[in-house]
């Protein structure tokens, strides 16, 4: 109850404007440069994944020797490989796009003192972290399902 009262008192007080120091501007600019680099690398990797998706599936389907070399994975159809590579490519493309958009807006906001651009850049960064958070939750769930199925499969 006391926390609620303190929150209401704090929200009723007039807040001072947030001050962005020169050091903070420098840090944001450096982060934007690295985000731009990582985003471009992500686009390149996504392009390679797309090319792999378009070539690996047909290659496996047309060459039975290659399917034999893959062992148990070779039992899958080449289309399955193509779909997996497309999913991976998209999973890499989306955060790369967010990083490049963050970098562009953050640089613009810091260099020209545009508050709206910096706000938009930070919003893109928030979306990037949300994406990785959701992806992490999905993978934790998949790991738990795998663990449960392994335990139940071992009980027989």
pLDDT at 1: 60
The answer to the question of residue 117 being in a domain is yes
pLDDT, tens only, 40-88: 999 999 999 999 999 988 888 888 787 778 777 777 788 888 999 999 9
Residue 73 lies in a domain: yes
DSSP H helices in the chain: 2-12, 22-62, 64-69, 78-112, 115-155
- Write the pLDDT tens digit of every residue in 127-141: 999 999 999 999 999
- Confidence bin at 9 (pLDDT 50/70/90): low
Give residue 8's pLDDT. Answer: 62
126, part of any domain: yes
Quote the mean pLDDT of the chain.
Answer: 89
- Residue 70's pLDDT is 77
In a domain? residue 64 = yes
Q: Could you give the number of structural domains in the chain?
A: 1
Distance separating alpha carbons of residues 130 and 112, to the nearest angstrom: 28
N- to C-terminal Cα separation, the chain: 53
Domain assignment of residue 156, yes or no: no
29 assigned to some structural domain: yes
**Looking at the domain assignment, is residue 125 inside a domain?**
yes
Token digits for 155? 């009980």
| Residue ranges making up the domain that contains 122 | 20-130
Least confident of 27-36, 66-75, 92-101, 126-135: 66-75
Q: Is residue 31 a part of any domain in this protein?
A: yes
Least confident of 18-22, 87-91, 118-122: 18-22
């Amino acid at each position: 109850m006391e926390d609620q009262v303190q929150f209401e008192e704090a929200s009723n007080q007039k807040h001072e404007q947030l001050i962005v120091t020169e050091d903070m501007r420098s840090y944001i600019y450096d982060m934007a440069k690295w985000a731009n680099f990582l985003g471009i690398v992500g686009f390149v990797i996504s392009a390679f994944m797309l090319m792999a998706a378009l070539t690996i599936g047909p290659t496996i389907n047309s060459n039975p020797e290659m399917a034999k070399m893959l062992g148990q994975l070779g039992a899958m159809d080449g289309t399955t490989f193509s779909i997996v590579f497309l999913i991976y490519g998209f999973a890499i493309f989306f955060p790369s796009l967010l990083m490049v958009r963050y970098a562009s807006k953050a640089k613009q906001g810091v260099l020209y003192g545009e508050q709206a651009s910096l706000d938009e850049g930070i919003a893109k960064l928030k979306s990037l972290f949300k994406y990785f958070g959701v992806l992490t939750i999905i993978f934790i769930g998949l790991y738990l399902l795998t663990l449960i199925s392994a335990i139940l499969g071992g009980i027989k």
